[in-house]
Amino acid sequence: MNHLLREHAPISAAGWQLLDEEARQRATPALAARRLVDFSGPHGWEYSATNLGRTRRTAATPVEGVTGLQRVSLSLVELRADFEVSRAELRDADRGAGDTDLASLDRAAHQLAVAENVAVFHGWKGVIAGISEASPHAKGKPGAAADGYPRLAAQAVEQLLGTGVGGPYGLALGREQYRVVVETSEHGGYPLLEHLGKILGGPIVWAPGVDGAVVLSLRGGDFVFECGQDLSIGYDSHDAEVVRLYLEETFSFHVATPEAAVALTTS
């Protein structure tokens, strides 16, 4: 048994399968960062830091005539979202009920995915430097009108090419921006989504939590998401009525090439 203590929960094997499957289904569509950045791992729960290969000189050393360097690494973060499941619902599921109420789990799964996206694309103050804050390029502004998107995307691609960052390029769109893009066809009926796809050469991703849009290179090596414990459900406690569980993951994220992305933010 590992630290998730799943064996201690009053949940049958079928129940666990149901919960895992539900969480997977709910989280996967929203995990936008994982569609766009390099993924390494999972390296396990006990994995604590990403090697950056960097050092910093120490102020003093214990003995004169000796120099000292301290390694600089990037600590992983733990993200956790608690939720509850009704034991009566679980019992019904074991009887074969197909409409189990797992709203609390669904919310937790979505929140965790959004938190991951925000951390990767916009950063986590004092903990993770995100793609858009690291990018040195001037930030464009996606207007409310859809017809500006192809021009912005083309500008962003040109900016990246101008700094020597090759493609293909991907596009992460916030919820509102995604809706605008998907619902629009340009003059003549050509879907905007496909036009953008032609400009970028890579995927256009629904990224809840992203403010505006981010264009980034997918050539690899520029953005590194290192996963310790991949998304998992763990057990916290239970009483006669409910089982308290949580969704959890550990990861680090760092931008190796700040100029490999262009942010288009609304704020």
Partner 1 sequence: MSAAESQAVLAPLTESAIFLVATVDPGSEDALREVLTDVSGLTRSIGFRFPDGGLTCVVGIGSDLWGRTFGQPRPPGLHAFREVIGPRHTAVATPGDLLFHIRATRFDLCFELAERLTDRLLDFAQVVDEVHGFRSFDQRDLLGFVDGTENPAGPALLDAVVISEEDPRFAGGSYVVVQKYLHDLAGWDALPVAEQELRIGRSKLSDIEMPDDLKPANSHVALNTLVGDDGKQRQIVRYNMPFGRVGAREFGTYFIGYARDPQVIEQMLTNMFVGNPPGTYDRILDFSRPVTGNLFFVPSADFIDDPPGALTTVSTQEAAEPVGLAVAPPASRSAEEDGSLGIGSLREGRV
Q: Is 78 in the site for partner 1 (CB under 8 A)?
A: no
Alpha helices in the chain (DSSP H): 13-27, 33-36, 87-95, 103-121, 131-134, 149-162, 175-183, 192-200
Q: Which stretch binds partner 1 (CB under 8 A): 33-41, 93-101, 126-134, 258-266?
A: 33-41
Q: How far is the CB of 189 from partner 1 (least distance, A)?
A: 27
Provide the terminal-to-terminal Cα distance of the chain, rounded to the nearest Å: 46
Q: How far is the CB of 146 from partner 1 (least distance, A)?
A: 25
Reading the block at residue 213, the tokens are 């849009």
Binding positions for partner 1, 183-212, rule CB under 8 A: 203
Which one, 232 or 265, has the nearer CB to partner 1?
A: 232
Which one, 2 or 12, has the nearer CB to partner 1?
A: 2
Q: Residue 49 in contact with residue 250, Cβ under 8 Å?
A: no
Q: Residue 238 in contact with residue 84, Cβ under 8 Å?
A: no
SS3 at position 159: helix
DSSP letter for each residue of 162-176: HTT--S-EEEEE-HH
Q: Is 119 in the site for partner 1 (CB under 8 A)?
A: no
Q: Is 34 in the site for partner 1 (CB under 8 A)?
A: yes
Q: How far is the CB of 245 from partner 1 (least distance, A)?
A: 12
- Which residues contribute to the site for partner 1 (CB under 8 A)? 2, 4, 6, 20, 23-24, 27-28, 31, 34-36, 39-49, 203, 218, 227, 229-233, 249
